[in-house]
């Protein structure tokens, strides 16, 4: 193997973020955002992570953490290896360390993602089975057709709806939290989402250093947020990514998610963002249809895989 494996240090964040950008297509990652992910995890679910160095260069990264928004005991080991450093046993060594860490902390089920054929083969050899696929898509904001936005905005205004950026709604955190959780619970997946308390959600989501308070759009009725399309952005890199989009169940079927997404695209165009990224479960026909209509082009498919280590502990 030859590479040196050691615990992650915060000074490693820029190198690991660069590795993520090379090996995890379709997501915005910066050193600050990586450190935020580590620091915002609740006690007991925190990241344990490691790097592998070759000639003092970070060539691999692994972390182990519990997915606190799911049932207790569901955890995620994550291993990334630079393409030029693969097939040397580095990833296998890091994975064994990550899985052992999670088992010792009480994990009964492991879930992770494979981002390419190498990753899918790596997971399959370790007993993982595919559970779902996520289609990543890109929108060339400069060429996007937002011609329907003005008319749609006028129609919805007549129905009592208006568009508001997230910055204007920060004082309505309780309502934003409820809206976000309702949308998250309906995301496709094989494990139901738990209630994430307001304080944890604030740390994890609202304090994300890339969350764009101006570019994240909400649809409000009487000031109350009923639909949203939030983005994280890298303004220097002229790229943004959808964080989550959703609508309260009682207000669905009225085109409000489309309105919010169109407003985001318009904002991106007016503020120098050239590329807008999004990811959707391959079975989420409704949101895929919205994205196709807006001009998003499929780019890559990520595969979620899982394996059960033991029976789920009984809950009291």
In the predicted structure, residue 236 carries a pLDDT above the cut 60: yes
DSSP letter at 313 equals P
**What was the pLDDT predicted at 296?**
85
What are the tens digits of pLDDT across the range 170-229?
999 999 999 999 998 887 777 888 889 999 999 999 999 999 999 999 999 999 999 999
Whether 120 and 276 have beta carbons less than 8 Å apart is answered as: no
Three-state DSSP class for residue 273: coil
Same domain for 64 and 156?
no
In the predicted structure, residue 316 carries a pLDDT above the cut 60: no
Q: What is the CATH number of the domain that holds 235?
A: 3.40.630.30
Q: Which of 84, 3, 13, 87 is nearest to 47 (CA)?
A: 13
Residue 313 domain flag: no
Same domain for 221 and 84?
no
**CA angle, 308 then 284 then 310, to 5°:** 5
Same domain for 65 and 159?
no
Same domain for 181 and 277?
yes
Whether 193 and 140 have beta carbons less than 8 Å apart is answered as: no
Residue 254 domain flag: yes
Q: Which of 109, 124, 4 is nearest to 67 (CA)?
A: 109
**What was the pLDDT predicted at 19?**
96
Cα–Cα distance measured from residue 68 to residue 117, given in angstroms and rounded to the nearest whole number? 28
- Across the range 10-27, mean pLDDT stands at 92
Same domain for 106 and 72?
yes
Query: 255: which residues sit within 8 A by CB, 6+ positions away?
Result: 152, 156
In the predicted structure, residue 1 carries a pLDDT above the cut 60: no
Same domain for 42 and 173?
no
- Across the range 47-71, mean pLDDT stands at 94
Counting the structural domains of the chain, the total is 2
Same domain for 178 and 278?
yes
Residue 315 domain flag: no
Cα–Cα distance measured from residue 200 to residue 65, given in angstroms and rounded to the nearest whole number? 16
In the predicted structure, residue 282 carries a pLDDT above the cut 80: no
Q: Which of 191, 189, 207 is nearest to 243 (CA)?
A: 207
Q: Give the H/E segment covering residue 75.
A: strand 74-81
Same domain for 289 and 237?
yes
Same domain for 148 and 296?
yes
Residue 310 domain flag: no
Residue 306 domain flag: no
Task: Place 100 in a pLDDT band, splitting at 50, 70 and 90.
Answer: very high
% of the chain at pLDDT higher than 90 = 75
Task: Place 289 in a pLDDT band, splitting at 50, 70 and 90.
Answer: confident
According to DSSP, the β-strands at 161-165 and 74-81 are unpaired
Residue 9 tokens, joined: 């240090």
What are the tens digits of pLDDT across the range 145-175?
899 999 999 999 999 999 999 999 999 999 9
Cα–Cα distance measured from residue 152 to residue 225, given in angstroms and rounded to the nearest whole number? 18
Same domain for 171 and 82?
no
**What was the pLDDT predicted at 102?**
97
Same domain for 274 and 142?
yes
Q: Which domain holds residue 229?
A: 137-300
Q: 96-117 burial by CB neighbour count: b if 16+ within 10 A, else e?
A: ebbbebbbebebbbbbbbbbbe
Residue 187 domain flag: yes
Same domain for 229 and 290?
yes
Q: Give the H/E segment covering residue 289.
A: helix 285-294
């Amino acid at each position: 193997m030859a590479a040196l494996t050691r615990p992650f240090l915060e000074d490693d964040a820029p190198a690991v973020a660069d590795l993520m950008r090379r090996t995890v297509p379709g997501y915005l990652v910066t050193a600050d955002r990586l450190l935020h992910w580590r620091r915002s995890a609740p006690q007991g679910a925190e990241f344990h992570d490691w790097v592998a160095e070759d000639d003092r260069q970070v060539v691999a990264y692994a972390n182990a953490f519990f997915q606190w928004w799911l049932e207790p005991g569901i955890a995620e080991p994550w291993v990334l290896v630079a393409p030029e450093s693969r097939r040397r046993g580095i990833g296998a060594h890091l994975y064994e360390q990550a899985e052992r860490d999670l088992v010792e902390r009480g994990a009964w089920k492991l879930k992770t993602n494979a981002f390419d054929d190498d990753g899918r083969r790596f997971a399959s050899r370790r007993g993982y089975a595919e559970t779902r696929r996520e289609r990543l898509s890109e929108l060339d904001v400069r060429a996007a057709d937002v011609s329907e936005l003005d008319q749609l905005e006028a129609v919805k205004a007549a129905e009592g709806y208006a568009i508001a950026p997230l910055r204007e709604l920060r004082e309505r955190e309780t309502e934003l939290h409820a809206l976000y959780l309702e949308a998250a619970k309906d995301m496709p997946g094989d494990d139901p989402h738990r209630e994430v308390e307001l304080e944890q959600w604030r740390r994890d989501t609202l304090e994300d250093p890339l969350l764009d308070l101006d570019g994240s759009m909400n649809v409000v009725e009487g000031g109350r947020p009923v639909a949203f399309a939030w983005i994280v952005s890298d303004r220097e890199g002229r790229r943004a990514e959808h964080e989550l989009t959703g609508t309260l169940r009682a207000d669905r079927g009225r085109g409000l998610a489309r309105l919010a997404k169109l407003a985001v695209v318009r904002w991106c165009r007016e503020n120098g963002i050239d590329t807008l990224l999004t990811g959707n479960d391959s079975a989420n026909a409704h949101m895929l249809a919205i994205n196709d209509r807006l001009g998003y082009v499929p780019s890559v498919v990520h595969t979620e895989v899982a394996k059960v280590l033991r029976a789920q502990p009984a809950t009291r």
